Amino acid sequence: MRTIQTAEITQNIKEMCIEVNHFLSKDMDDAMKKAVEKEESQLGKQILCQLQENLQIAGDDMIPICQDTGMAVIFMEIGQEVHVEGGNLENAINEGVRQGYVEGYLRKSVVSDPLIRENTKDNTPAIIHYSIVEGSEIKITIAPKGFGSENMSRVFMLKPADGIEGVKNAVLTAVKDAGPNACPPMVVGVGIGGTFEKCALMAKHALTRDMNKRSSIPYVRELEAELLEKINKLGIGPGGLGGRMTALAVNIETYPTHIAGLPVGINICCHVNRHIVRVL
């Protein structure tokens, strides 16, 4: 049994919140550079180059890569051989978010009640997803989610008879409806199967996948490639101003489901698609 102190978790989450909001992950940076080469529209190329310049300035001057520094979404994969000591784990996670957003001078975008709308002034609480896994480590993934793209999320409760064509139509419908509102070029996370909430969670988690990795399931890998091609033929383009590079990737996760259902969740993220991983 390995012991990890809550103070270590808090410190790492604080650092991760600051880093992920100032520096694009390497996989996303590579994808953005490739997008400039692939874009056929001159205006589209210009928009992509401006986005690259913005990212460079953000890193050089320690300015957030987007003014919406998002609601902190955190995936905690906790090894079953780990004992957490020093206080309540959830409190430690939220304290890391609080310190990161306050000391990092990041925009505080969380309200304490969805209708009363009073700002919590420290961007807490975070949205935390836990899973217990084998081993003696804790893997922390932080993916701050801005709501320009989050508001474009969709869940389709399809019939089994809708099949794979129904899934394709659902994803394309969500992207068409999002249009320029999700700040393209976008990354499209898709969850297929499970239940109403499970497909949405998979879609969110799919956005954190390394952009250089495709699904290990052959038909899913083919579906990702087909949907990416179809999305990039919609003509939405960078900034919604036309062009080929509407999306940088389509990431799909699947899960067993009920005989009577075919849930599909779509979670779109903007061109920064912030995600960072640390293993303690």
Strands (DSSP E) found in 168-224: 186-194
Mean pLDDT of 179-184: 95
DSSP letters spanning 49-90: HHHHHHHHHHHHHT--SSS---B-EEEEEEETTEEEESS-HH
CATH number, domain 2-20+65-144, options 3.30.160, 3.90.1690, 2.30.30, 3.30.360: 3.30.360
Q: Which secondary-structure segment (H or E) carries 237?
A: none
Quick one: tokens of 3? Answer: 């012991």
Return the pLDDT at 163.
98
What is d(CA 58, CA 52) in angstroms, rounded to the nearest whole number? 10
* Cβ proximity of 251 and 28 under 8 Å: no
* Digit-coded pLDDT (tens) for 51-62: 999 999 999 999
Return the pLDDT at 11.
98
How many CB atoms lie under 10 A from the CB of residue 149?
26
* Cβ proximity of 128 and 76 under 8 Å: yes
What is d(CA 151, CA 229) in angstroms, rounded to the nearest whole number? 24
Q: Which secondary-structure segment (H or E) carries 253?
A: strand 247-257
Mean pLDDT of 52-77: 95
Return the pLDDT at 23.
95
What is d(CA 81, CA 9) in angstroms, rounded to the nearest whole number? 16
Return the pLDDT at 228.
98
Percent of the chain with pLDDT over 90: 99
Return the pLDDT at 199.
98
The two beta strands, 262-269 and 276-279, are unpaired
* Digit-coded pLDDT (tens) for 208-220: 999 999 999 999 9
Percent of the chain with pLDDT over 70: 100
pLDDT-derived band of residue 117, with 50, 70 and 90 as boundaries? very high
Q: What is the pTM of this model?
A: 0.96
Domain ranges of the chain: 2-20+65-144, 147-273
The two beta strands, 82-85 and 138-142, are unpaired
What's the order of all strands across the beta sheet hosting 262-269? 154-158, 262-269, 186-194, 247-257
**Burial of 137 (C-beta count, 10 Å sphere; 0-12/13-18/19+):** middle
Return the pLDDT at 63.
95
How many CB atoms lie under 10 A from the CB of residue 198?
18
* Digit-coded pLDDT (tens) for 158-176: 999 999 999 999 999 999 9
pLDDT-derived band of residue 28, with 50, 70 and 90 as boundaries? very high
* Cβ proximity of 194 and 233 under 8 Å: no
Return the pLDDT at 50.
95
Q: Give the 3-state secondary structure of residue 177.
A: helix
Return the pLDDT at 270.
95
Q: Which residues pair with 228 in a beta bridge?
A: none
